[in-house]
Amino acid sequence: MSAPCAAWGMARTSLTTPWHAAYILHSRPLAEHKVILQLLLPELGRLSAVVRKRSGKQRQPLQPFQLLTLQLTGSHELKTILKLEEQAPGIPLQGVALLCAFYLNELLCRVWPDNLASDQLFSLYQTALQHLQQQPAQLEQLEPVLRQFEFALLAELGQPVDWQLDASGQPLQPQLCYSWQHEQGWCPAEQGFSGLLLQQIDQGFWSEPGCRQAAKKISRMLLQPLLGDKPLQSRGLFSQRIPETARMPWQDEHS
């Protein structure tokens, strides 16, 4: 095909190709003028796509936490981005909230399978980012956002946590202890998480330090099989040296 015909074909394709909302989760250089993006899209889930850094004179807005609209092409797993535009101003995340947002991105890239479609994932992610931005930069306010996202993510992956009923369908009792059994749920046990704490997590008593700590332990326990042996870099990166004021909500107090 001659060059003008090819250009005409491309223009015609871009007119008929649907536009998708998307967030960039990660980018890495492919060549001098191209990058490979990890994208999160409504319905399509997470996928990889190649894009040019510039479109004509214009530098492409290729930052995470910025709602984009884009056109994808390609029948293979790795797509190509035909056009990309900003759909809304970037979410102005700063400080600990920004680091938390990077944690969400790493978590998604690690546990969400490539090209697995999801109805809810995109809006869950978007809501979490908005909540991170709205909260003051204090751990008590940021931790619940991460926990709620983690539990919602697990539910989307087919591993929901029932905070009201145990494995046999009986309501959780505040005076009993429960342990988590894979593919069953909460089972009464001599040691484990108290029913009271599980009820507090269900009711969002996040101002209670015990409730936040239990939620963190449960989320870590449930995410562990999905993460495998390789730990989340975000946890390790900040474990030793993060200043007290910026200690990450996913860190243990003494790690």
Partner 1 sequence: MTANTPLLQQLIDALKALPGVGPKTAQRMAFQLLERNREGGRKLGTALLHAMEHIGQCQSCRTFSEQELCAICSDPSRSQSSLLCVVGSSADLQAIEQTGQFDGRYFVLMGQLSPLDGIGPAELGLDRLEQQLAKGDVEEVILATNPTMEGEATAYYIAELCHRQQISVSRLAQGVPVGGELEYLDGSTLSHAFSGRKRF
| Both tokens assigned to 142 | 């940021």
Q: Which of residues 38-77 bind partner 1 (CB under 8 A)?
A: 57-59, 61, 63-66
What's the min distance (Å) between Cβ of 27 and partner 1?
A: 9
Task: Count the neighbouring beta carbons within 10 Å of the beta carbon of residue 45.
Answer: 20
CA distance 117 to 113: 9
Point out which span in 11-19, 98-106, 145-153, 165-173 binds partner 1 (CB under 8 A).
98-106
Residues 7-26, one symbol each (x = binds partner 1 by CB under 8 A, - = not), give ------------------xx
Total chain residues near partner 1 (CB under 8 A)? 41
Backbone region of residue 158 per phi and psi (left: phi > 0; alpha: psi in -120 to 50; beta: other values): left
Gap between the Cα atoms of 67 and 247, Å rounded: 28
16 CB burial (10 A radius; 0-12, 13-18, 19+): exposed
End-to-end CA, the chain: 61
Q: Which stretch binds partner 1 (CB under 8 A): 2-10, 102-110, 158-166, 208-216?
A: 102-110
Query: Considering only 13-21, 86-94, 148-156, 213-221, which stretch makes contact with partner 1 by CB under 8 A?
Result: 86-94
Rounded Cα distance, 171 and 178, in Å: 12
- Return the number of the residue (37 or 145) whose C-beta is nearest partner 1: 37
Each residue 213-252 as x (binds partner 1 by CB under 8 A) or -, in order, gives: -------------------xxx-xxx-xxxx-xx------
Closest CA to 159 of 128, 177, 143, 181: 181
| Total residue length of the chain | 255
* Contact call for residue 254 and partner 1 (CB under 8 A): no
Q: Are 101 and 93 in contact (CB under 8 A)?
A: yes
For partner 1, give the closer residue by CB, 60 or 200: 60
Q: How near is the Cβ of 103 to partner 1 at its closest, in Å?
A: 7
Q: Which residues 103-162 are close enough to bind partner 1 by CB under 8 A? A: 103, 105-106, 109
Among 2, 4, 18, 32, binds partner 1 (CB under 8 A): 32
Q: Which is nearer to partner 1, 75 or 240 (CB)?
A: 240
Report how many helices (DSSP H) and strands (DSSP E) the chain contains, helices first: 7, 10
Q: How far is the CB of 19 from partner 1 (least distance, A)?
A: 17
237: tokens are 């990166």
Report how far residue 229's alpha carbon sits from residue 109's, in angstroms, rounded to the nearest whole number: 15
In the complex with partner 1, the residue whose CB is nearer, 32 or 183, is: 32
Distance CA 239, CA 248 (A): 8
Per CB under 8 A, residues contacting partner 1 are 25-26, 28-32, 57-59, 61, 63-66, 86, 89-90, 93-95, 98-99, 101-103, 105-106, 109, 232-234, 236-238, 240-243, 245-246
